[in-house]
């Protein structure tokens, strides 16, 4: 079969196509069609020639096959040290082989490459820091994902995910109308406790523009309210955007670079339109990677920077605590042992380890580091989109074991995970392995520990009295 009706080289561009693909529950028909999907070798080879340049080719060529990347890979460690889980083997037998064969590969090869690119690598980039030659296999797997996506070999959920970005400008079916409604509803709800609290929308020239993850309005609207409460507490002049509010990119996990560009352009357009002094993103790792770290390149910004200074939530929070704009009640600090998950996307790949440690120093009395940590930390096990792919659920659940053991070794039962992907992975880890742990974002913890300034207390009392 040249191209399937669901599984094909065309990205999802319309709501109708998206709904049709969604209706194929679990991608049963989709994956069936994939088994017959044609590989256009000429197209594949011309793509490789155009985009696989000296950095990647050199990586593939000079790999000394020393296996120093083996131990660095969380998949290798939990899969009985299977030699086929060594990063160098995984990339050489997929992308390396594809290039050596000048694109003359068959359907089975492509499906195996897909299983490796999404089911055996979370693009955490840890192996790259263990290679004497500086070969970043995570970067290559991300590149391979793009090639596979263009050829139609992409996990069902991620084809949907990138389609969501193309159709709704968000990773989920949250329209701008839904989004604005959710914010209004959250403002009303939160006002009961925080009378003067506002969730400002489309305010030009505010100090701060806040962007977030579509899951928040869709599934955890209280997270939007919590962000508003903390801005309110800190006395921040802030706003959100009715368009360009969604910071995440399932398209990045899918390797749909055009959708990546479209998505991040929405956010940058909002920045240009509202001209904030600073943009702050929510507690999400890949959203930060997509919009702050990689995004400038997708839209072709030569300086590699977003249109305005753009920071992660933990950077803002560390600053607020440092400057005393949010104060922690010493009596309410976390007394029990608590540990912290370092997100690969903003710690190894954006250097923010110090910020989260600084936050911990203000809020925890018994903070326990995982080992290893910071830049050297292991992936939660669900990164790179793996959390969301049904086809690789078994692989994902196994991949959680490294994090499980790291958490157990700290002796802590509370894990702070300022990243949506890590948060999900740790939640699933508890479900799968039942350690009796709890996990949390920073926002709800900070709110529960913060000192409420007198003027806000007075407003709350007035509000109660009037009612």
Partner 1 sequence: MRDLYMFLTGPGLIVALLVFFGGLAARALLYVQGLDWKLDRVAYIPHFKQGLKGAAQSIYRWLIPFGTHGWRKSPFFTVGFFAFHFGVIVLPLLVAGHAVIAENLLGFWLPHLPPAAADFFTLCAIGGAGLILARRIALPEVRHLSTWRDYAVLGLATLPLLSGFLAARHFPGYDYWLLLHMVSAEALLILAPFTKLSHIALFFMSRAQLGMDYSIKRGGDYRGTSFPW
Per-residue binder mask for partner 1 (CB under 8 A), 132-151, x = binder: xxxxx---------------
Binding test (CB under 8 A) with partner 1, winner from 170, 208, 352, 422: 352
Min separation Cβ 92 and partner 1, Å: 7
- Residue list 427-466, contact with partner 1 (CB under 8 A): none
Binding test (CB under 8 A) with partner 1, winner from 16, 84, 106, 188: 84
Choices 123-131, 204-212, 238-246, 397-405; region in contact with partner 1 by CB under 8 A: 123-131
Choices 55-63, 277-285, 398-406, 417-425; region in contact with partner 1 by CB under 8 A: 55-63
Determine the Cα angle at 157 with ends 139 and 438, to 5°.
Answer: 80
Element (H, E) at 335: strand 334-340
Binding test (CB under 8 A) with partner 1, winner from 202, 269, 358, 375: 375
Grouping H, G, I as helix, E, B as strand and the rest as coil, residue 329 is coil
112 binds partner 1 (CB under 8 A): no
Binding test (CB under 8 A) with partner 1, winner from 18, 39, 88, 250: 88
Binding test (CB under 8 A) with partner 1, winner from 111, 374, 391, 398: 374
Binding test (CB under 8 A) with partner 1, winner from 107, 129, 176, 242: 129
Choices 206-214, 240-248, 298-306, 427-435; region in contact with partner 1 by CB under 8 A: 298-306
**Who's near 42: CB < 8 A, 6+ residues apart?**
103
Q: Kindly state the tokens that stand for 408.
A: 């157990």
Choices 80-88, 160-168, 320-328, 445-453; region in contact with partner 1 by CB under 8 A: 80-88
101 binds partner 1 (CB under 8 A): no
Min separation Cβ 280 and partner 1, Å: 15
Min separation Cβ 350 and partner 1, Å: 4
182 binds partner 1 (CB under 8 A): no
User: In this structure, what are the phi and psi dihedrals at residue 336, rounded to the nearest 5 degrees?
Assistant: -75, 160
Please report the sign of the dihedral spanned by the C-alpha atoms of residue 184, residue 186, residue 190, residue 194.
Answer: negative
Distances (CA, A) of 191 to 195, 200, 267: 5, 13, 28
CA distance 249 to 385: 10
Choices 113-121, 267-275, 297-305, 456-464; region in contact with partner 1 by CB under 8 A: 297-305
Min separation Cβ 282 and partner 1, Å: 18
**Which of 227, 442, 446 is closest to 314 using CA atoms?**
442
297 binds partner 1 (CB under 8 A): yes
Side-chain half-sphere exposure of 63, counting CA atoms within 13 A:
26
Choices 104-112, 356-364, 367-375, 449-457; region in contact with partner 1 by CB under 8 A: 367-375
Distances (CA, A) of 251 to 102, 104, 142, 161, 179: 27, 27, 11, 6, 20
86 binds partner 1 (CB under 8 A): yes
Min separation Cβ 94 and partner 1, Å: 14
Binding test (CB under 8 A) with partner 1, winner from 349, 377, 397, 406: 349
Element (H, E) at 311: strand 310-312
Min separation Cβ 374 and partner 1, Å: 7
CA distance 1 to 11: 18
CA distance 341 to 423: 9
Min separation Cβ 296 and partner 1, Å: 8
Binding test (CB under 8 A) with partner 1, winner from 12, 18, 114, 131: 131
Binding test (CB under 8 A) with partner 1, winner from 25, 204, 300, 467: 300
Could you tell me which residues are beta bridge partners of residue 439?
415
Binding test (CB under 8 A) with partner 1, winner from 49, 275, 335, 354: 354
Q: Which residue do the tokens 């398209």 mark? A: 251
**Who's near 210: CB < 8 A, 6+ residues apart?**
227, 231, 238, 239, 240, 279, 280, 281, 282
- Residue list 303-342, contact with partner 1 (CB under 8 A): 303-305, 315
Q: How many residues in the shown chain lie near partner 1 by CB under 8 A?
A: 57
Binding test (CB under 8 A) with partner 1, winner from 47, 68, 435, 451: 68
83 binds partner 1 (CB under 8 A): yes
DSSP 415-429: EE--SHHHHHHHHHH
Could you tell me which residues are beta bridge partners of residue 416?
340, 440
Please report the sign of the dihedral spanned by the C-alpha atoms of residue 397, residue 398, residue 402, residue 406.
Answer: positive
419 binds partner 1 (CB under 8 A): no
Binding test (CB under 8 A) with partner 1, winner from 241, 355, 370, 412: 355
User: In this structure, what are the phi and psi dihedrals at residue 311, rounded to the nearest 5 degrees?
Assistant: -120, 165
DSSP 350-371: T--HHHHHHHHHHHEEEEE--S
CA distance 287 to 421: 10
User: Which residues lie near partner 1 (CB under 8 A)?
Assistant: 51, 53-55, 57-59, 61-62, 64-68, 70-72, 76, 81, 83-84, 86, 88-89, 92, 128-136, 293-294, 296-298, 300, 302-305, 315, 348-355, 372, 374-376
């Amino acid at each position: 079969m040249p191209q399937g009706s669901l599984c094909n080289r065309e990205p999802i561009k319309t709501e109708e196509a998206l709904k049709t693909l969604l209706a194929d529950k679990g991608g049963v028909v989709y994956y069936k069609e994939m088994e017959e999907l044609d590989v256009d070798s000429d197209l594949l080879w011309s793509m490789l020639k155009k985009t696989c340049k000296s950095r990647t080719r050199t990586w593939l060529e000079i790999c000394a096959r020393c296996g120093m990347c083996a131990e660095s890979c969380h998949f290798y460690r939990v899969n009985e040290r299977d030699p086929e889980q060594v990063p160098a083997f995984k990339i050489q037998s997929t992308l390396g082989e594809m290039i050596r064969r000048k694109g003359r590969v068959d359907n089975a090869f492509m499906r195996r490459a897909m299983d490796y690119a999404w089911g055996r690598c979370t693009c955490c980039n840890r192996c790259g820091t263990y290679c004497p030659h500086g070969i970043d296999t995570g970067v290559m797997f991300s590149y391979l994902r793009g090639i596979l996506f263009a050829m139609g070999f992409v996990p069902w959920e991620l084809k949907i995910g990138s389609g969501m970005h193309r159709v709704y400008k968000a990773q989920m079916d949250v329209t701008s109308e839904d989004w604005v409604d959710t914010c209004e509803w959250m403002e009303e709800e939160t006002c009961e406790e925080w009378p003067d609290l506002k969730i400002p929308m489309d305010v030009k020239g505010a100090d701060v523009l806040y962007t977030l993850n579509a899951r928040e309005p869709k599934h955890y609207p209280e997270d939007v309210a919590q962000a508003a409460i903390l801005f309110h507490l800190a006395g921040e002049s802030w706003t959100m955007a009715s368009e360009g509010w969604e910071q995440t990119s399932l398209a990045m996990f899918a390797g749909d670079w055009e959708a990546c560009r479209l998505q991040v352009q929405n956010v940058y357009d909002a920045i240009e339109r509202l001209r904030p002094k600073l943009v702050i993103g929510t507690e999400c790792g890949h959203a930060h990677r997509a919009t702050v770290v990689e995004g400038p390149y997708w839209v072709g910004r030569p300086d590699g920077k977003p249109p305005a200074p753009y920071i992660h939530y933990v950077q803002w929070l560390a600053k607020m605590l440092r400057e005393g704009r949010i104060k922690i009640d010493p009596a309410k600090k976390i007394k029990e042992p608590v540990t912290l998950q370092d997100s690969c996307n903003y710690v190894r790949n954006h250097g923010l380890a110090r910020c989260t440690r600084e936050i911990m120093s203000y809020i925890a009395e018994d903070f326990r580091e995982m080992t290893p940590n910071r830049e050297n930390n292991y992936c939660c096990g669900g990164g790179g989109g793996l959390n969301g792919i049904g086809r690789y659920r078994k692989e994902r659940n196994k991949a959680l074991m490294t994090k499980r053991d790291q958490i157990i070794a700290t002796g802590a039962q509370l894990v702070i995970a300022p990243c949506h992907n890590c948060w999900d992975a740790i939640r699933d880890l508890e479900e799968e392995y039942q350690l009796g742990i709890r996990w949390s974002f920073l926002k709800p913890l900070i709110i529960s520990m913060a000192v409420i300034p007198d003027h806000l207390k007075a407003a709350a009392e007035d509000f109660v009295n009037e009612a």
